[in-house]
Structure 1
Amino acid sequence: MVTATVEDDAVAQRECLKNVFSMEGGQGEASYMNNSQVQSQILQIVIYVLKETLDTIRHPPRPEKLLTAADLGCSCGQNTLVVAGAIVQHMTDMYGSRGHDPPEFCIYFSDLPSNDFNTLFRLLPDYSAAAGNRRFFGAGVPGSFYDRRSPECFVDVFTSTFSLHWLSQVPIEAVDRGSLAYNRGKVFVHGASEATGAAYRRRFRSDLARFLRFRAVELKPGGAMFLVCLGRPSSTAPTDQGSLGLLLGDLFQSSWDDLVRAVSRH
């Protein structure tokens, strides 16, 4: 009975996260748009890998007139458009080098329903104009990338940057008071017990397998996928998040503790 209740709570938590979890929208001081410079710098460093990935796409004998891309976990800032622009530019140049007219481009921007798609979409006209003739058709696809997001054999290239470290849910064991992995008094895996770390590792492996399984269905034969993920050495335990433990874990934990104390006083 306890296990069933915990599992029911996990399902409810997963559905709740889909509806409320997102980066800070808008263009204010605390917005993701104005606080994603580190991600932007890393993208500039690895953009050549994206181009090399695009070079691996297997083209049919007669070039297609439409190239479809999907950005999974797009959020709402300029970084999304850096990736989209690189795809459009590189594929336009590739077609031209082979004596073909460039295809039309359709790029699907996917994130949880709570994402600020309006802020992202307001950037698209300005970006398209600045890119001259390198225009693309854009559309929003709300939903979790741990589920199916497109028809079978539909997408030429998938991209996902700085997103796959977000799990689909907190591991069931971490919120089960009867489990050795119960993460008592914590909201992050950094500094937790070995059992808690193992639970988070299992959750990540399960989520990543699910992610790849659905992309395998949706990707066209000969398509490609470009992923940029936060990581750590395989020799390091999940409970040691390094500098991220201070940047994310400790700050989250401190903020949560302050909130709990404030509520308790009232």
Structure 2
Amino acid sequence: MTESYPMNGGDGSYSYTKNSTYQRETINYAQEMIDEAVAKKLDIKSLISNSNTLRIADLGCSVGPNTFIAMQNVLEALEKKCLSQGNASKAPEFLVFFNDHASNDFNTLFASLPHDRQYFAAGVPGSFYGRLFPESSLHFVHSSSALHWLSKSPEELLDKNSQAWNKGRIYYTSASEEVANAYAAQFTKDMKIFLNARAKEIVAGGMMVVLMPSLSDDIHYSQLSAGQVFDLIGSTLMDMVNEGLVSEAQVDSFNIPAYCPSPKEIAQLVEENGCFSIERMQMMDPRSKMNAPLDAHTFIMHLRAGMEGVFTKHFGSEIVGEMFDRVSQKSAEFSCLLDKGYKEKNQVFFVLKHK
């Protein structure tokens, strides 16, 4: 069973809807690369030889508006390819499946569907660490800022008799090799399940595009910029332990269920699966196209929108509110981490084609 960590729903101050512009930058940055992959590598004419419907899925869609922007980008790329292949007289219809955990705020998602969309829409609740669709039913799969979420935290981190016991920490960045290896092993298990499921669901010749946080092959995990931010949150929790607001056992039993793999790790798992060819894989820096510098307050709001549910489930809403308030008060330290760590390429873009 996978654990569920939905982004904050609704459209309030801490909602994902209002605090996901950084993730949107990643989607916009990748638009040209998706256009190029579809134009050069996807044969739409053969995909819809027996049907005039192209079926697309966005895995880990959350609540919008990012998923609508991503799907519009994908549809435009597919439409251009259709025209280039002489399909203008019989343009295909598009069916888009929006997938996320059942606890996702689908009400907000579908209430905000674009009125001028050129596709039919359907929701598919469930974890992408398992089958979601019938065999050979999808032509194109997209996933952005989602696949770094693990199905669960590695169990070894909670075992006091294990060398991977992560006492006093909530992540692997400043932990031992054993802790980092436990995270890597959990990602490997999850990614194998993910690839096996998509191999069954995507038609031969179909395409999958993934954008996710990553770590360059030549950088040690201790330098992971996101991890350093999580370490700051962990130290804040330990301050609260020392003040008697949180028990030490609560911190010892909590680990953020997310992992940033290297391109090398991903490529190895794809090759082991054997059902996909890697058409393109590269690190990217979406921040390079941002007009404004990273702002500590805005970044903390993004963190809260994306991760509040994970913390609340374990510590309770009152503790989590206090925790984020305290992290905000460390804005100088936070800004230093952002300036230092978020200048490197920290996202990976890869295109897989079903053999």
CA contact 2:169–2:231 (8 Å) conserved in 1: no
How far, CA to CA, are the matches of 2:216 and 2:131 in structure 1?
30
2:129 matches 1:146: yes
Equivalent residues, number:
242
Aligned to 1:121: 110
Where do 1:183-198 residues align within 5 Å? 183-198=166-181
Percentage of identical aligned residues: 34
Structure 1 residue 165, shift from structure 2 partner:
0.8
SS in 2 for 1:226: strand
How far, CA to CA, are the matches of 2:231 and 2:115 in structure 1?
38
Residues 114-142 of structure 1: per-residue CA shift (max 9 Å, x gap): 11111111111xx132x5xxx21111111
How far, CA to CA, are the matches of 2:231 and 2:54 in structure 1?
40
Structure 1 residue 49, shift from structure 2 partner:
1.5
In structure 2, the CA distance between the partners of 1:34 and 1:143, relative to structure 1 (3 Å rule), is same
Identify the match of residue 107 of structure 1 among 90, 96, 112. Answer: 96
SS in 2 for 1:168: coil
Structure 1 moving runs of 4+ over 6 Å: none
Structure 1 residue 28, shift from structure 2 partner:
0.8
How far, CA to CA, are the matches of 1:172 and 1:154 in structure 2?
35
In structure 2, the CA distance between the partners of 1:114 and 1:99, relative to structure 1 (3 Å rule), is closer
How far, CA to CA, are the matches of 2:223 and 2:98 in structure 1?
29
CA contact 2:61–2:98 (8 Å) conserved in 1: yes
Aligned to 2:60: 73
SS in 2 for 1:254: helix
CA contact 1:69–1:158 (8 Å) conserved in 2: yes
2:229 matches 1:247: yes
How far, CA to CA, are the matches of 1:256 and 1:53 in structure 2?
46
Where do 1:46-65 residues align within 5 Å? 46-55=30-39, 56-58=41-43, 59-60=45-46, 62=49, 64-65=51-52
2:82 matches 1:95: yes
TM-score, normalization by structure 2: 0.63
SS in 2 for 1:220: strand
Structure 1 residue 253, shift from structure 2 partner:
5.4
Structure 1 residue 248, shift from structure 2 partner:
3.4
Where do 1:177-256 residues align within 5 Å? 177-238=160-221, 240-251=222-233, 254-255=236-237
How far, CA to CA, are the matches of 1:109 and 1:248 in structure 2?
29
2:22 matches 1:38: yes
TM-score, normalization by structure 1: 0.83
SS in 1 for 2:214: coil
Structure 1 residue 192, shift from structure 2 partner:
1.1
Aligned to 2:293: none
Letter paired with 2:155: I
How far, CA to CA, are the matches of 2:238 and 2:95 in structure 1?
41
Structure 1 residue 77, shift from structure 2 partner:
1.6
In structure 2, the CA distance between the partners of 1:160 and 1:241, relative to structure 1 (3 Å rule), is farther
In structure 2, the CA distance between the partners of 1:257 and 1:147, relative to structure 1 (3 Å rule), is farther
CA contact 1:197–1:237 (8 Å) conserved in 2: no
How far, CA to CA, are the matches of 1:137 and 1:90 in structure 2?
17
How far, CA to CA, are the matches of 2:37 and 2:52 in structure 1?
20
Structure 1 residue 69, shift from structure 2 partner:
0.5
Residues 192-237 of structure 1: per-residue CA shift (max 9 Å, x gap): 1111011111111121121111101100111000000100122334
SS in 1 for 2:38: helix
Deviates more, 1:151-160 or 1:44-53: 44-53
How far, CA to CA, are the matches of 1:52 and 1:95 in structure 2?
14
Structure 1 residue 99, shift from structure 2 partner:
3.8
Where do 5+ consecutive residues of structure 2 fail to align? 248-355
Structure 1 residue 252, shift from structure 2 partner:
5.3
Structure 1 residue 151, shift from structure 2 partner:
0.5
Structure 1 residue 84, shift from structure 2 partner:
0.8
